[in-house]
Structure 1
């Protein structure tokens, strides 16, 4: 009886090729019994190859998943908000012009960093001008317009905040009248506060 050296399958002497695995059969392959280790080794080798393919596939998937965010980073650039609406100046009336001129003279000697919105008494603000200011600072910015006129605050936190500013001088006789620019800015700031 003849057995294939490669797979251990029985074969006919006249055949030069193993019908099971297709390997060539030489003269020295006659009368060799199949060893159980050759079959076991072949199965181990196949099992090992399958494991290597599986591990390689997993590593490949992990590499793709790990690299993809970095590759896509350039495609998703953050969108920055731009101020589409131009800031519009409104010409004040004669009385408002006089008040604005006096306010300008006072403010020219003061540091603008003391204000959240240094020009809120001079120009109409758009939502784009205030869109990055947090809600708690918007409250102060809105009241800053009143504070410029010396409004006496009943709220302790606002009173404490504005009392620390060199430009704030309480004026109990302030009647609450504001310029058109200031009224529009208060409305814009309030609308932004309500949206947050």
Structure 2
């Protein structure tokens, strides 16, 4: 989507939002950005079923959060923040589930199929053919998020800082600037970490 089209779309979303037309606002916004956000979730989770589950929660969260949205950022940036928060909740719930399994049924846990023990995963048969997906396999969830938002979605550092900010009240402009600076430094370390692989593949240009 070109910047001009995105500007027009953001204005349309805002117009309906300011008129209090929450359902219409959600309909337009999800139709416009839904495929993009769902694709991003598939990339960062590396599991289509999980991504669809998180995307469903994201759509509900967007609808519920619209009345309180204050336009401190673009709608697109806020929608990514909502999706990232939904993913964070999913990770926390998975961690709690693992803790319960360890506490109450250690033997059963040992019998569960483990991610790193499985010989071939769907994401390996498909996305691993792409250089960026191969890189993702080396990264933590936080690193995958940073790489995807900066390289694939071409987001500005301030927008990325808003997306990865903690749940709760929006951070202050000064906090956003500090976070953006930290993210740029983290990205430089990430590029160094991946430099050898990227040079070997010759397929990925980090910006």
More helix per residue = 2
Q: Which has the higher contact order (CA 8 A, sep 6+)?
A: 2
Task: Tell me if both proteins adopt one fold, taking TM over 0.5 as the criterion.
Answer: no
TM-score (norm 1): 0.23
Q: In terms of Rg, which structure is larger?
A: 1
TM-score (norm 2): 0.23
